[in-house]
Amino acid sequence: MTEDMGRERWSSTLGFIIASIGSAVGIGNIWRFPYIVGANGGGAFLIPYLISVFLFGLPLMLLEFTIGRSTKTSVITAFQSILGRSSLAGLAVVAIAGLVLSYYLVITSWVLAYALFFALNSPVDFHVFTGSYFPLIFFFFAGMAVFLTVRSGVREGIEMISRVLIPVLVVILIALVAFALTQTGAAAGIEFYLSPDYSKLTDPGVWTAAFGQAFFSLSVGMGVMLTYGSYLEGGALFRNASIIVVADMLIAILAGLAIFPLVFTAGLDPATGVNLTFITLPAVFVDMRFGMILGALFFAMLFAAALTSAVSMLEVPVAAMMDSRGYSRKRATLLVFGVIMLIGLPSALSYTALDLRLLGIRFLDLGDYLFGTIGLIVAGLIICIVGGWYMDRNRICDEIGGCGWQQKIYIVLIRYVVPAILLITLIANLFQVGG
């Protein structure tokens, strides 16, 4: 089924690994992970998280790479090749990736705005900022950055930007951690962040939070890793996936080590939930020596993380259109990007003075729930079923280095365990609707 000789390729395995780390490391690592750890048992949360990452996230990532590399094509056509007929399954996964991007881009644009405000020495209050129509301008610029990257192609666009931004991100993060640990609130911050509360482990909500966070953070379940795998030639998939997973986790853990010491040094309450990034942290920076520089660095780092993740989400529908419809990259990117900006507009407007809501919930939050939480799980289930149950076993073994006992365990994981976990997480999340 190696249909096209002219398919784009990563320049090397390293390029592929960096681009995949670029997709995995995003807002989920720097903003969401530290907050979820703090709220769900501190250091004890690392137990369900590690289990989720290695037992469920890693196998799903490996499955996506396997499907992509063996079919050498993107989601819709890969599913066609496996199922032997066209189906709505691929389209559903592609649509969910696009829909998640539509609101992820809004948050990315806020991050861009904050980076600029701090760099210009003029931080703006979150409510003042979002209450204006300024966010729309940033929405446009953040969108353009994503659009231009994907339009430039796999190697010159996606790989290039990750090769530049990921090392920058790591350097900034390490510098921020080093600085944060010298501050007076470091001990209290780390105590809040990591001191384990094992009693939380009996709460099923903590476990489903860990599952959801692991899937989201690793960018699995949305066809991103499948698409990235389709541009890959050789290399040991398990080893590469392990590197990506470990890098993603380390960056998430480090982010907390930068954030909480600063929050405690400023004497602020860390339990402000998702407001941590846009309200609490800016307040920390405003009151701090070197605060403007720290703020600019922090938000620049967050923007680098968000941009490389947003790019990967756009690549899913773009590649799908190119492969299934024969569109050129330029045409596919323009079309898909146009649609996503339109769909994202209600989310972008939902925090402005217009305060756009549906069923009383802001569009952006509704998108995060419907697409980023429920949609992601559904798409993950689809990938597990198509790959685990319909793909030829030998084909899977070929890609992952034989059919020994390790591979047998892996197949049990993707056929039974991962779908079961996804189903449990889905049900748990559906019951939280009213909450």
Output the CA torsion sign for 298, 300, 304, 309: positive
Alpha helices for 120-159 (secondary structure H): 126-131, 134-151
Indicate the residue among 22 and 291 with the shorter CB distance to ligand PFF: 22
219 vs 313: CA distance, rounded Å: 9
Of the residues 217, 227, 240, 280, which one makes contact with ligand PFF according to CB under 6 A: 217
Find the shortest distance in angstroms from Cβ 40 to ligand PFF. Answer: 17
Sole window of 51-59, 105-113, 163-171, 212-220 interacting with ligand PFF (rule: CB under 6 A):
212-220
Find the shortest distance in angstroms from Cβ 247 to ligand PFF. Answer: 12
Q: How many residues in total does the chain contain?
A: 435
> Which of the residues 50 through 109 are near ligand PFF (CB under 6 A)?
97
The Cβ of residue 303 has, within 10 Å, a number of other Cβ atoms equal to 24
Q: What token pair was written down for 254?
A: 């480090």
Indicate the residue among 130 and 312 with the shorter CB distance to ligand PFF: 312
DSSP string, 323-351: HHH---HHHHHHHHHHHHHHHHHHHHHHT
Find the shortest distance in angstroms from Cβ 217 to ligand PFF. Answer: 4
Instruction: Identify the CA nearest to 45 among candidates 35, 58, 56, 59.
Output: 35
Find the shortest distance in angstroms from Cβ 320 to ligand PFF. Answer: 13
Sole window of 127-135, 161-169, 213-221, 331-339 interacting with ligand PFF (rule: CB under 6 A):
213-221
> Which of the residues 7 through 46 are near ligand PFF (CB under 6 A)?
23-24, 26-29
Instruction: Identify the CA nearest to 28 among candidates 272, 248, 208.
Output: 248
Amino acid at 241: A
Of the residues 52, 80, 309, 425, which one makes contact with ligand PFF according to CB under 6 A: 309
Look at residue 240 and give its three-state secondary structure. Answer: helix
Of the residues 313, 377, 384, 396, which one makes contact with ligand PFF according to CB under 6 A: 313
> Which of the residues 379 through 408 are near ligand PFF (CB under 6 A)?
none
Inter-residue contact 255 to 30 (CB < 8 Å): yes
Of the residues 45, 49, 114, 216, which one makes contact with ligand PFF according to CB under 6 A: 216
Task: Using CB under 6 A, count the residues that bind ligand PFF.
Answer: 15
Find the shortest distance in angstroms from Cβ 104 to ligand PFF. Answer: 7
Q: What token pair was written down for 258?
A: 């930068």
Of the residues 109, 219, 333, 350, which one makes contact with ligand PFF according to CB under 6 A: 219
For residue 338, the number of C-alpha atoms closer than 13 Å in the C-beta half-sphere is: 6
272 vs 43: CA distance, rounded Å: 19
DSSP string, 352-375: STT--EETTEEHHHHHIIIIIIII
Residue 277 binds to ligand PFF (criterion: CB under 6 A): no
Find the shortest distance in angstroms from Cβ 192 to ligand PFF. Answer: 22
The footprint of ligand PFF (CB under 6 A) covers 23-24, 26-29, 97, 216-217, 219, 222, 224, 309, 312-313
